[in-house]
């Protein structure tokens, strides 16, 4: 239904590229123990050398087309469009191999790790999607793989833990702190500090010390690069709005990046509103947090008056993180992108709505982006052209959904 771009995706310099030390305005940077500085400088040098190199991206492209199934379709959602009186297209990252956009950057980073001569890769994971995508490329490229996952998440996401093990990865349950994603990342950093000489750390989002936020943004920007070509092909014009959910922010920056230069396109990132942003149970770092340093970067954080990091909450494990990628913090402060939030209840409602209207079951994360279509004033989207990024599929959420929605779907 939409034309598939045949060219090879190669990142291009962005007007919002960070400075040499990785700063997006005051955000970003490298706030890590000295032991990691040499590894980060080396990674930056190596990434810069392949950043615009067609040979590197040709290799990435081979796996995107033949292994991941790219380009992902841009699907005209006919039924919800009719209901809303708008033209809504869905960017189908949920159709990628392993079920989400995470595979985009794990493929490219694993190829980079191989180039650097690293034999081992590590990753942190919350719900397990990034862990599965990392374990997948480890199997594909014959790399040793260790995944750090909070003990609480290991219990909640049994199936993904098994998936990672089946793929040959070792899963470390993390028992420190709140035993969730934030602590998994702490322990992954601790492991990396000890093993930086032979280990590549595949960070799961556009966060962490420079060059990760820029590098992962470059890689994920294939989403928006494809979507732009696809929408121009079918509609002969740019969209009015592009909507994506945000935890760390990789799928959002991925679809926004190529539209940020187009003033007429409004990019909207949706944070996890949890039980409501006026409670203490949400993941809305941009809306309710303040600038601070965690996991190697300066960005917005949920923290108390002493700067102690607070636990986030969201129905979706992928948005359950007290920080956010530094480029989003910058885009918000500069007013270049817009941000809003969606509660657990609104996301669940949209999860059912999209499933029953279009036959597409979105991940809980992506359900937040879908829900925004119902949150915004109907008259403001009348006749508008909108792209929503469906960053992942809902299969991983079935156990949780079955439990929460049992009354709604009893015989």
Chain positions contacting another protein, by CB under 8 A: 21, 29-39, 41, 176-177, 182-183, 186, 189-190, 193-197, 290-296, 298, 301, 303, 306-309
* Cα–Cα dist 236/312, whole Å: 41
Smallest separation, CB 352 to another protein (Å): 36
Least CB distance to another protein at residue 350 (A): 32
Which residues fall within 8 angstroms of residue 382, CB to CB, at 6 or more apart?
A: 85, 86
Q: Which residues pair with 89 in a beta bridge?
A: 76, 387
Q: Which is nearer to another protein, 93 or 146 (CB)?
A: 146
Cβ 204 to another protein shortest distance, Å = 16
Q: How far is the CB of 317 from another protein (least distance, A)?
A: 19
Residue 191 C-alpha from the chain's centroid: 23
CA-to-CA distance for 209 and 40, rounded, in angstroms?
A: 8
Catalytic residues: 102, 124, 391
Residue 37 beta carbon to another protein: minimum distance, rounded to whole angstroms: 5
Smallest separation, CB 52 to another protein (Å): 25
* DSSP β-bridge partners for residue 340: 270
45 versus 165: smaller Cβ distance to another protein: 45
Q: Which is nearer to another protein, 264 or 305 (CB)?
A: 305
Return the number of the residue (54 or 307) whose C-beta is nearest another protein.
307
Q: What's the min distance (Å) between Cβ of 137 and another protein? A: 25
């Amino acid at each position: 239904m939409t034309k598939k771009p045949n060219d090879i995706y190669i990142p291009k310099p962005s007007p919002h590229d960070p400075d040499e030390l990785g700063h997006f305005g005051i955000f970003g940077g490298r706030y890590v123990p000295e032991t990691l500085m040499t590894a980060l400088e080396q990674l930056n040098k190596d990434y810069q050398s392949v950043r615009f190199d067609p040979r590197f991206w040709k290799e990435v492209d081979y796996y995107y087309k033949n292994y991941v199934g790219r380009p992902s379709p841009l699907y005209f959602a006919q039924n919800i469009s009719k209901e809303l009186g708008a033209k809504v297209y869905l960017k189908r990252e949920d159709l990628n191999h392993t079920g989400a956009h995470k595979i985009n950057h794990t493929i490219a980073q694993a190829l980079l790790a191989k180039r650097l001569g690293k034999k081992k890769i590590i990753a942190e994971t919350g719900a397990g999607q990034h862990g599965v995508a990392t374990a997948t490329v480890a199997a594909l490229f014959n790399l040793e793989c260790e995944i750090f996952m909070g003990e609480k998440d290991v219990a909640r996401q049994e199936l993904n833990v098994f998936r990672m093990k089946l793929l040959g990865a070792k899963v470390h349950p993390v028992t420190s702190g709140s035993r969730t994603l934030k602590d998994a990342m702490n322990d992954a950093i601790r492991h990396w500090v000890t093993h930086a000489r032979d280990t590549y750390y595949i960070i799961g989002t556009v966060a962490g010390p420079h060059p990760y936020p820029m590098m992962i943004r470059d890689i994920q920007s294939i989403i928006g690069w494809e979507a732009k070509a696809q929408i121009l092909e079918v509609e002969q014009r740019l969209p009015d709005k592009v909507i994506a959910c945000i935890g760390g922010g990789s799928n959002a920056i991925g679809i926004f990046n190529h539209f940020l230069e187009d003033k007429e396109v409004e990019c909207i990132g949706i944070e996890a509103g949890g039980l409501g942003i006026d409670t203490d149970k949400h993941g809305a770092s941009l809306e309710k947090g303040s600038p601070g340093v965690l996991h190697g970067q300066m960005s917005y954080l949920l923290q108390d008056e002493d700067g102690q990091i607070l636990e986030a909450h969201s129905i979706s494990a992928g948005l359950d993180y007290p920080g956010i990628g530094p480029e989003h913090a910058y885009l918000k402060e500069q007013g270049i992108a817009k941000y809003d939030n969606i509660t657990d209840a609104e996301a669940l409602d949209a999860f059912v709505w999209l499933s029953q209207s279009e036959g597409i079951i979105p991940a809980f994360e992506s359900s937040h982006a879908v829900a925004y279509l119902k949150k915004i004033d109907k008259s403001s989207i009348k006749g508008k052209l909108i792209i929503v990024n469906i960053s992942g599929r809902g299969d991983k959420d079935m156990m949780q959904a079955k439990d929460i929605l049992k009354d709604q779907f009893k015989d």
